[in-house]
Structure 1
Amino acid sequence: MALDLSLPRAGVPSQRRAFTHYPWHVAFLVLGIAALGVWNLASASRSAHAPVWISQLSWMGAGAAVALALGLVDYRRFMRGAYVFYAVVVLLLVATALKGRVVMGARRWLAIGPMNLQPSELAKIAVMVALARWFHMDAAKRKDGYGLFGLVVPGVITLVPALLILKQPDLGTALIVVAVGATMILFAKVRWQTLVAVGAVVVVGAVFAYPHLKPYQKKRVETFLNPEGDVLGAGYHATQSMIAVGSGQALGKGWAQGTQTLLSFLPEQHTDFIFSVWAEEHGFVGCLLLLALYYALVVSALGIAGNARDRFGHFLAVGVTAMLFWHAFINMGMVTGVMPVVGVTLPLMSYGGSSVMAVLIGIGLLNNVASRRFVN
């Protein structure tokens, strides 16, 4: 794969060739999941004061417009501005820590004019773009794979925004940023001795970091290990979620018929626990359908990464794939009780403008890589 940083030649023929190879299957999968998400939100928010699904539609429309706009520009042009974009996002995270709006004890939002921005969502995109640029330039020098010292720069690129996000505090998004960075690093060919050393460092670091977690974060881990220990307190979210999932049985109770949802037993039912609403109302069969759609999307994204025309496109697609996979994996794991509750949204299903925008920006970059795999 070439290391050329020169800008590609633009022109109508190139745009036409890119359109010819547009991954329509990915677009239809995204559209299918988004449509189910809005339909599910209409049920999840029926007891709320405002119909959040209408707001979600607006954000999805804006996100789709941004994704389409990204498709008009060759993704290789983003390589030169990768580090600048990363630096801007880090500065936004610092500004959030200093001047951000506090909501429910967390400082995650930054007011920019009339708009409230959640920079932690942009951090996922910034990390994947910066790492893609780094590995595009550096991976060719590592014929025998990456050793421990070779991972210092990618590690710093990943951990700086993750630590700033953790400080907000937002453990879930920080974990996603680390997971995206770690996945891209693994795809860069790391020596097995290095993997063992990094694994040992992670385990030791987790042991030393645990005492410094916020009290509610510790409680979540303890509740995961012993769900029955505080059913009406820290374990309430997980318990009610598992009740909702289990009560759906094979075919579910039907749209707008979920009692856990209707009676508001499910906390955050339109955001972090949206999958619980889906499981209760559409049952095991509905969950299999949704899992199949996510599986097809992740496999398609991996295929795009494998067929990218250069290393930058390859790692960019790997980063988007990792973001989609880890979001879905962690969210479904926490609402079914097999993982601690850490506050991670389900892509295109959970309500949230910044989250939807970040996912659709990633999809736009992914489709851009796929469209231009045969364009010079």
Structure 2
Amino acid sequence: MSLIPDPFKQLPWRVFGLLTLMAAFGWVVLYSAAGGHIMPWAGMQAARFVVFLVMAEAIARVPLSFIEKMALPVYGVLLVALVLVELIGGVAGGSQRWINLGFMQLQPSEFMKLACVLAVARFYTLLPARQIRTWTALWPACALIGIPAALILIQPDLGTALMVTAGGVTVMFLAGLPMRLFVGAAASVIGAVPIAFSMLHEYQQKRILIFMDPESDPLGAGYHISQSKIAIGSGGIFGKGFLHGTQSHLDYLPEGHTDFVFATMAEEWGVVGGVFLIVCFMLLLRWGMRVAMRTEAKFPRMVAAGLSMTIFFYIAINMMMVMGLAPVVGIPLPFMSYGGSSMMTIMMCVGIILNIDRERTRRSSTGWK
């Protein structure tokens, strides 16, 4: 007789173990970034992870049919919240992104990354199969993606707007739309780029232009990228050693505990630490995509793949940003960057993918409509 209770046997220990391993590595990096102190970053990050891990498990136990039915209503509520941000939202750091609820600051745009994937997937689930190759399959999805992306862009928050767009477009691709529709939509997007660029603040426009040549303004707009490259390059193969980083400890590296935490890690742990982290991310993404590939029903398949790609975009954009391969847009690195909003979004994605995986093993795909 096993001494382990059945509820604990049902927990996805491999997934939780992988998440905990990455999070623990993040705590170590944040501990070093704070000069060898648990507070204020490592301790708070560990507490948040435990809370959000429980939240992910709770989401995994919600009936998937309920999540599917609530996809569009939740999207609508968040869209209204984005409008309220423009009307009554609080301003911090030159950006208007939060609604003050008294007991907390709510950032609707963070939840929209997930809600957009669910809403677009729900739309294509309801769309008759015979219309999937017509313009009727394109313009409503573009509206579902474009309206919140535009509202987020004027906050301004370029990084989150890109994430919302990327997640939604991924689901459109997975829905099976013909390539000619994507070509037409891409042409429209290219035509709108000058308008979108003009809506950005001056500092955001500089970030986009400077990443091609950060050395042209090393003490101004190119400072973040230049210092990040120095930190990553100076780490070498094995790094400078735990608590021996200089760029972050001497405050040369801005945002070394948030957006540029990968550079902080690479300086002390070198290529070895970077490869370890990338392998962990690859295992997480492999799990998410395998869940999608094994699921035959339309809605859960698109959601699992869409949320997996949302996590991928977090990782790819952040790493490209800190290496100077993309503009600085303020995308955090999952499980590494200090902050609660992004971790909560990632763990909600994990919870829904876990839900889909459990539902798949619990009953045949004919149970999903």
In the superposition, the TM-score normalised over structure 1's length comes to 0.90
Q: Deviations over 1:221-278 (max 9, x none)?
A: 1111221111100000010011101111100011211100100111111111011111
CA distance in 2 between counterparts of 1:19 and 1:156 reads: 43
Residue of structure 2 in register with 1:103 after alignment: 92
Q: Secondary structure at the match of 1:268?
A: coil
Residue of structure 1 in register with 2:161 after alignment: 174
Q: Secondary structure at the match of 2:233?
A: helix
Compute the displacement of 1:213 (Å): 2.3
* 1:188-203 pair list within 5 angstroms: 188-203=175-190
Amino acid at match of 1:36: F
- Tell me if 1:300 matches 2:287: yes
- Tell me if 1:85 matches 2:77: no
Q: Deviations over 1:29-63 (max 9, x none)?
A: 22221111122111123389952122212221221
* 1:199-214 pair list within 5 angstroms: 199-214=186-201
Residue of structure 1 in register with 2:112 after alignment: 123
Determine if contact 2:127/2:137 at 8 Å carries over to the other structure.
no
Does the C-alpha gap of structure 1 residues 189 and 218 become closer, same or farther in structure 2, counting only changes over 3 Å?
Answer: same
Does the C-alpha gap of structure 1 residues 314 and 303 become closer, same or farther in structure 2, counting only changes over 3 Å?
Answer: same
Does the C-alpha gap of structure 1 residues 173 and 48 become closer, same or farther in structure 2, counting only changes over 3 Å?
Answer: farther
CA distance in 2 between counterparts of 1:241 and 1:59 reads: 27
RMSD of Structure 2 on Structure 1 (CA) = 2.1
CA distance in 2 between counterparts of 1:205 and 1:323 reads: 23
Determine if contact 1:17/1:375 at 8 Å carries over to the other structure.
no
Amino acid at match of 2:204: Q
- Tell me if 1:315 matches 2:302: yes
Compute the displacement of 1:300 (Å): 1.2
Compute the displacement of 1:212 (Å): 3.3
Compute the displacement of 1:21 (Å): 7.3
Q: Name the stretch that deviates more: 65-74 or 50-59.
A: 50-59
CA distance in 2 between counterparts of 1:223 and 1:309 reads: 45
Q: Secondary structure at the match of 1:67?
A: helix
- Tell me if 1:39 matches 2:28: yes
Determine if contact 1:304/1:370 at 8 Å carries over to the other structure.
yes
Q: Which has the higher contact order (CA 8 A, sep 6+)?
A: 1
- Tell me if 1:155 matches 2:142: yes
Question: Residue 205 of structure 2 is aligned with which of 218, 227, 236?
Answer: 218
Question: Residue 332 of structure 1 is aligned with which of 319, 325, 343?
Answer: 319
Amino acid at match of 1:223: I
Which segments of 5 or more consecutive residues in structure 2 lack a partner in the other structure? Answer: 364-369
Residue of structure 1 in register with 2:65 after alignment: 76
Question: Residue 365 of structure 1 is aligned with which of 332, 340, 352?
Answer: 352
Residue of structure 2 in register with 1:13 after alignment: none
Does the C-alpha gap of structure 1 residues 238 and 139 become closer, same or farther in structure 2, counting only changes over 3 Å?
Answer: farther
CA distance in 2 between counterparts of 1:294 and 1:265 reads: 28
CA distance in 1 between counterparts of 2:13 and 2:294 reads: 16
- Tell me if 1:66 matches 2:86: no
CA distance in 2 between counterparts of 1:255 and 1:140 reads: 56
Q: Deviations over 1:174-221 (max 9, x none)?
A: 101101011111111121222222222222221343233221111011
In the superposition, the TM-score normalised over structure 2's length comes to 0.92
Determine if contact 2:124/2:137 at 8 Å carries over to the other structure.
no
Determine if contact 2:260/2:322 at 8 Å carries over to the other structure.
yes
Q: Name the stretch that deviates more: 195-204 or 178-187.
A: 195-204
Aligned length: 359
Does the C-alpha gap of structure 1 residues 149 and 137 become closer, same or farther in structure 2, counting only changes over 3 Å?
Answer: closer
Amino acid at match of 1:318: A
Does the C-alpha gap of structure 1 residues 82 and 106 become closer, same or farther in structure 2, counting only changes over 3 Å?
Answer: same
Determine if contact 1:47/1:262 at 8 Å carries over to the other structure.
no
Residue of structure 2 in register with 1:8 after alignment: none
Does the C-alpha gap of structure 1 residues 191 and 22 become closer, same or farther in structure 2, counting only changes over 3 Å?
Answer: farther
Determine if contact 2:229/2:323 at 8 Å carries over to the other structure.
yes
CA distance in 2 between counterparts of 1:48 and 1:30 reads: 23
Identity across matched positions, percent: 38
- Tell me if 1:25 matches 2:14: yes
Q: Secondary structure at the match of 1:89?
A: helix
Amino acid at match of 2:97: R
Determine if contact 1:162/1:177 at 8 Å carries over to the other structure.
yes
* 1:224-303 pair list within 5 angstroms: 224-303=211-290
Determine if contact 1:33/1:349 at 8 Å carries over to the other structure.
yes
CA distance in 2 between counterparts of 1:131 and 1:218 reads: 30
Residue of structure 1 in register with 2:174 after alignment: 187
Q: Secondary structure at the match of 2:118?
A: helix
CA distance in 2 between counterparts of 1:316 and 1:18 reads: 26
CA distance in 1 between counterparts of 2:209 and 2:152 reads: 22
CA distance in 2 between counterparts of 1:240 and 1:230 reads: 12
Residue of structure 1 in register with 2:122 after alignment: 133
Determine if contact 1:82/1:126 at 8 Å carries over to the other structure.
yes
Amino acid at match of 2:200: L
Residue of structure 1 in register with 2:342 after alignment: 355
Does the C-alpha gap of structure 1 residues 168 and 212 become closer, same or farther in structure 2, counting only changes over 3 Å?
Answer: closer
CA distance in 2 between counterparts of 1:139 and 1:225 reads: 45
